[in-house]
Structure formats: structure tokens, C-alpha cells
């Protein structure tokens, strides 16, 4: 299932009025994560190294590249076909920039253990689907893959440390690794990119690790859960999308000294750098549980379920988003400091 395209299908059924594309966190969220990290590493050895590797791009700019690369179409000989559609991608829409995205997608399209119904490998790197009943991320449980968001953050870190990318990833150099890392550290903090709810035909949650995985229960990260009624402005959207969007108060211009102080207070994770993504995913999973808390779901109709959000859901979401964006920015900076002390 193509989450990216799936969103547009769902959207076109309900309304043509929503402006935002389905970029995970949305470009605004990724820009904010990058901006926080840019400010936290400013003046350090990590900032010098990162800037040299990225050819002068900021982390804020780099943070959307992995989503921009989704504009490459494997059925059109890996041509980039989204020019002009996403303003945040404009900096990559040069002949050299498009060739770079095309090359990445060509190497990361069919390299994973991809089933015929599954989307391009690189599009799957952005998430994992751990059942919300689990209390931690553990490789091998339902929804995890050797090419999921946890694995790819570690893989990009290996490349930045001068080691080869573990299979199945193809990350050609440090520049590509850092372009990817700045994005994926954002995604691994988006609750619905890590924690998943699996629902039966009646809309009752099931535990796929107990009952066995049934594709019919897979909500595709909440992309197949449509909000039918709410006192907030989410009607007609899918649940995943409401979590990708961030409020205007959390965009880059609001990254001020108070917010940076919160980011500086985020504790460095324990263990080796390569162990951090699983630790972060476990924390994000707990946030996903909060995201599903109190939600009731209607029976499955076609491919989708329905839900209505509690009145207080908007404020719950905002506080979780702020916390997660802060952690993502802080941890991206911590990882870069760890690589280049």
C-alpha cells in the first residue's frame, strides 16, 4: 500500500479542499526538526562536518529530501515527475538534484523483500507498524521489518561513521546518508509512523502478535481510518494525516530560545549510537498508545474504518506533537554530536 498515494485517494473521495500533501510529519514538521538540530549544533564540529557533507545545505533543508524523492516514478524509468508540486522540494529540482533523487530510488525500489502488493522499498523505510499492545520495539514482532524506520536510521548512521550500509539498504555515500538521516529521525518520532492499531471487520482492536497477522486487519498506519465526525477541523481526513500536520505555532519561525531550552533538556539515550533508534521507537510507541486512547472505530467498509475524535483530541495531539518534534530535533543533534564530537 502506498501511503503517499493512498492519502490522495482517500482525500479525493471526501474533499478536494485540503491543501497539504501526505508527507510524513508534513514538510513543516520536518523543517522544524531540522531547524532545531541546526540551532543545537551551531558552531560545533558536528555543524562543520554536516555542512561539508551536505554541500552547504542546512539540516532544515535536508530534512525533506527523502519525501521529495517520492516524486521519482519507477514506471517512468525513474524520472522525477513532481516538479513544481511541492515548494519545499524546489531546491532539489535541478538536473543534478533530480538525477540524485532518481539514482537513490533506482537503488532502493526493489532491493527489499517486497511483496507484489507493497509499495516501493524506499517508501517503506519511513515507518514501522508495531502493534500498540506491545510495550517496546522488538525486531521480529508484527509490523517490523529489516528495512523499517528503525533499521534505516541505524543504517544511515553506519554510513556516516564510514561503514557500509547493512542490507537491504543502498546508501551510496555520506551525503545521501545525511539527507536520509535528517528526515528519518523526524519520522521515527511521529507516533503513527511507529505504533499501529490493527482492527477486525467490526472495528474492534486485535493483537496480531497473539492471533497471527491478517492483512485485512492492517490500517496502514491509520491511513485507512477516516474521521467522520469531530468538534475539531479534521472531518474527512484520515487519522494518519492529522498526525502528520503540525499547528502553525510549531513551524520554524517559532523555534525560539524557550523551545531550544526544552530541546537541550532532552536526555541523551544510553548505549551505542546504533541502539538509539530502537530506544526512540519504544518511546514513540508509548505516544502512539496515547494517540489511540479513547478512540472507537466503526465497522470496516471497503478498505476503510471510521472514527470520531473526542472533543479534547486536538489539544492532546498538539502537546504530543510538540514533545515529539522537540525530541526529534534534539536527538538528531545528539546523533551528529555523537558522530563528530
Using CB under 5 A as the binding rule, whether residue 62 contacts Zn ion is answered as no
Q: Least separation, in Å, of the C-beta of 126 and Zn ion?
A: 4
Q: Are strands 195-196 and 198-199 parallel, antiparallel or unpaired?
A: unpaired
Length of the chain: 341
Q: Least separation, in Å, of the C-beta of 190 and Zn ion?
A: 8
- Contacts with Zn ion, 139-178, as mask; x by CB under 5 A: ----------------------------------------
Closer residue to Zn ion, CB minimum distance, 54 or 69:
69
> Rg of the Cα trace of the chain?
19
Using CB under 5 A as the binding rule, whether residue 24 contacts Zn ion is answered as yes
Closer residue to Zn ion, CB minimum distance, 33 or 336:
33
Using CB under 5 A as the binding rule, whether residue 187 contacts Zn ion is answered as yes
Using CB under 5 A as the binding rule, whether residue 134 contacts Zn ion is answered as no
What is the Cα–Cα distance from 314 to 104, expressed in whole angstroms? 37
What would the grid cell of residue 266 be?
532532552
Q: Which of 122, 123, 126, 174 binds Zn ion (CB under 5 A)?
A: 126
Q: Among candidates 242, 200, 191, 241, which has minimal Cα distance to 219? A: 200
Closer residue to Zn ion, CB minimum distance, 121 or 295:
121
> CA torsion, points 268, 272, 275, 279, in degrees to nearest 10?
-20
What is the Cα–Cα distance from 253 to 36, expressed in whole angstroms? 11
- Contacts with Zn ion, 225-264, as mask; x by CB under 5 A: ----------------------------------------
Closer residue to Zn ion, CB minimum distance, 217 or 223:
223
The CB-nearest residue to Zn ion is 24
Taken in order 196, 181, 176, 164, the sign of the CA dihedral is: negative
Do 121 and 112 contact (CB within 8 A), yes or no?
yes
Segment interacting with Zn ion, rule: CB under 5 A, options 12-20, 23-31, 105-113, 133-141? 23-31
Q: Where are the beta strands (DSSP E) in 192-299?
A: 195-196, 198-199, 205-206, 225-229
Question: How far from 15 is each of 18, 235, 297, CA to CA, in Å?
Answer: 7, 10, 21
> Residue 128's Cα: distance from chain center in Å?
9
Closer residue to Zn ion, CB minimum distance, 30 or 300:
30
Closer residue to Zn ion, CB minimum distance, 10 or 47:
10
Q: Site size for Zn ion, by CB under 5 A?
A: 3
Footprint on this chain of Zn ion (rule: CB under 5 A): 24, 126, 187
Amino acid at each position: 500500500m502506498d501511503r503517499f498515494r493512498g492519502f490522495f485517494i482517500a482525500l479525493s473521495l471526501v474533499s478536494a479542499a485540503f491543501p497539504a500533501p501526505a508527507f510524513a510529519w508534513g514538510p513543516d514538521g520536518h523543517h522544524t526538526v531540522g531547524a532545531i538540530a541546526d540551532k543545537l549544533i551551531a558552531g560545533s564540529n558536528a555543524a562543520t562536518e554536516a555542512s561539508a557533507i551536505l554541500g552547504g545545505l542546512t539540516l532544515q533543508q535536508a530534512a525533506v529530501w527523502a519525501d521529495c524523492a517520492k516524486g521519482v516514478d519507477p514506471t517512468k524509468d525513474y524520472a522525477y515527475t513532481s516538479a513544481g508540486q511541492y515548494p519545499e522540494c524546489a531546491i532539489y529540482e535541478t538536473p543534478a538534484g533530480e538525477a540524485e533523487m532518481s539514482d537513490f530510488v533506482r537503488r532502493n525500489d526493489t532491493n527489499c523483500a517486497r511483496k507484489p502488493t507493497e509499495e516501493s522499498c524506499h517508501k517503506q523505510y519511513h515507518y514501522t507498524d508495531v502493534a500498540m499492545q506491545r510495550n517496546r520495539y522488538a525486531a521480529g514482532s508484527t509490523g517490523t521489518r529489516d528495512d523499517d524506520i528503525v533499521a534505516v536510521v541505524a543504517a544511515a548512521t553506519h554510513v556516516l561513521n564510514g561503514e557500509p550500509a547493512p542490507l537491504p539498504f543502498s546508501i551510496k555515500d555520506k551525503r545521501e546518508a545525511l539527507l536520509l538521516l535528517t528526515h528519518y529521525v523526524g519520522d521515527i518520532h511521529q507516533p503513527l509512523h511507529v505504533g499501529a492499531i490493527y482492527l477486525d471487520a467490526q472495528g474492534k482492536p486485535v493483537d496480531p502478535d497473539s492471533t497471527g497477522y491478517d492483512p485485512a486487519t492492517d490500517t496502514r498506519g491509520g491511513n485507512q481510518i477516516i474521521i467522520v465526525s469531530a468538534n475539531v477541523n479534521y472531518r474527512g481526513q484520515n487519522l494518519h494525516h492529522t498526525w502528520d500536520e503540525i499547528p502553525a505555532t510549531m513551524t520554524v519561525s517559532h523555534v525560539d530560545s524557550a523551545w531550544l531550552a526544552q530541546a537541550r533538556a532532552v536526555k541523551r539515550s544510553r548505549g551505542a549510537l546504533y541502539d538509539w533508534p530502537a530506544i526512540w521507537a519504544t518511546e514513540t510507541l508509548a505516544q502512539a498508545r496515547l494517540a489511540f486512547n479513547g478512540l472507537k472505530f466503526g465497522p470496516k467498509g471497503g478498505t476503510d474504518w471510521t472514527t470520531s475524535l473526542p472533543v479534547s483530541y486536538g489539544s492532546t495531539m498538539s502537546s504530543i506533537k510538540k514533545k515529539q518534534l522537540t525530541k526529534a530535533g534534539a536527538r538528531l543533534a545528539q546523533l551528529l554530536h555523537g558522530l563528530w564530537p
